[in-house]
Amino acid sequence: AESPLARPLAPARPDDAMLGPLPPARSPLEVSAISPARAREAAFRKGSMVHALLQFLPDHPPEQQAELARAWLARPASGLDPQEAATLAERVVAVLRLPDLAPLFMPQARAEQRLVGVAGTQVIMGQVDRMCVLDDRIVVCDFKSGRHVPHRVEDTPVLYLRQMAAYRVLLRQIWPQKPVTCVLVWTEQPRADVLPPALLDSHAPPGAAQGAARSIP
């Protein structure tokens, strides 16, 4: 039998535990002017554009970000009408202004940071949307562009909690002297949810709660 370490786990797609309720998907019974397949494609395209803007806009001065976002989304290739482009640009800029995310848009912050290591008995391979190493803590966030936003942080889908808990384990083994703050950012509202440490501890990879973690060189 192969060791469990032979089976890498992508935190965004964990497959070895009961996940609880999954993030809600768009109902195929909803009345729409376009087919469900085209609606999914449009939602995916919007999510990709939001992620791209949140990756690159912080490199520009704050006073230019709104206009840059509107201009980029107004391109014919975006597939958005002018009102959709303006609304999406407003949401992206609102995310950039969320107080809890300020460290993540500092010049020393990292975008699309890969994380790989061993947590407990599981190999973890993933990528965080934004990450910043501060003097007193590590801050990481993942952007969620789905339109179903939980009312309370305790109602966050288990899938997302396990994803962030796995990232936290890997970062704590690199910087054991610094606490790790994990944030889920819901771009539809927009809203930033700082995940409580106790909630993340309860969703850590098997064997990681006791500190059984090591890095991969």
pLDDT above 70: residue 133: yes
Average pLDDT, the chain: 82
> Is the pLDDT higher at 76 or at 36?
76
Question: Residue 185 is which amino acid?
Answer: V
Mean pLDDT of 176-202: 94
